[in-house]
Amino acid sequence: MPHVSDPSVASEIQTICCLMEKLLEREDGLRQEVEELKFQMEHQFSHKQTCDHCADLRTVITRLENKILHQEFTVSSLVECQWLLDRDLTLERQKIGGLESRLADQYLVNESLLRAVTQVESNRSSWDIQHVLLENERQREAMSTLRSTLDVKDITIQCLQMALQDIPPDGYGTNDGDTLQSELECPSPRDDILTHESRHGSSTPRPYQYERVSHRE
């Protein structure tokens, strides 16, 4: 501060200098407060962006979890359906094995009946022989129908196995319900049997016919 001879002027200059220093200090304080406010605003903005991003991630995770649950339900349904078809196929194979054994026995019985009819009752009409031949034909049709049913069930199980292989392991597939719907549209073996019986008549063996034939023998 320059030297001033007048005491009053020197006092005023000193007062002004003190005020200037206080103003500068206040300005520095205000500048620091502004910097802190800027930092807080940036921090709050960054925090808000982070919260929004986390909310978006939660939404995406929820959707993925729902897709995974749906895929797991679809896979479990397909596995259960395949298990049921395997069981039905095993039962059908057992039935076919029993029917083949019965059919072989029936062939022997029919041959014996034909020989007996030819040797003992040669003068009778050929109606009984035609009846036995017709019964044999029905037995053959029954075996053909059962074999067709077994083939259809084999094809259905192959369709389910292919559907299980087509499902992605991470559960991000989009065709969730289409695979199960396409497998449910496979031909039903029961419908094939009903259609065949409606066209050709019931081909189920009748036990009472066997008893009547055995009495003749």
Give the whole-angstrom CA distance, residue 85 versus residue 92: 10
pLDDT at 169: 60
Give the whole-angstrom CA distance, residue 57 versus residue 87: 45
Average pLDDT over residues 5-26: 82
Do the beta carbons of residue 192 and residue 149 sit within 8 Å?
A: yes
Task: Please state the pTM of the whole predicted model.
Answer: 0.35
Per-domain residue ranges of the chain: 7-216
Band (pLDDT 50/70/90 cuts) for residue 213 is very low
Residue 33: HSE in the Cβ half-sphere, 13 Å Cα cutoff: 6
| In the block, residue with structure tokens 């192959």 | 158
Judged against a pLDDT cut of 60, whether residue 212 lies above it is answered with no
Q: Which of 60-69, 174-183, 203-212 has the lowest mean pLDDT?
A: 203-212
Average pLDDT over residues 28-57: 89
Do the beta carbons of residue 150 and residue 96 sit within 8 Å?
A: yes
Judged against a pLDDT cut of 50, whether residue 190 lies above it is answered with no
Give the whole-angstrom CA distance, residue 75 versus residue 177: 11
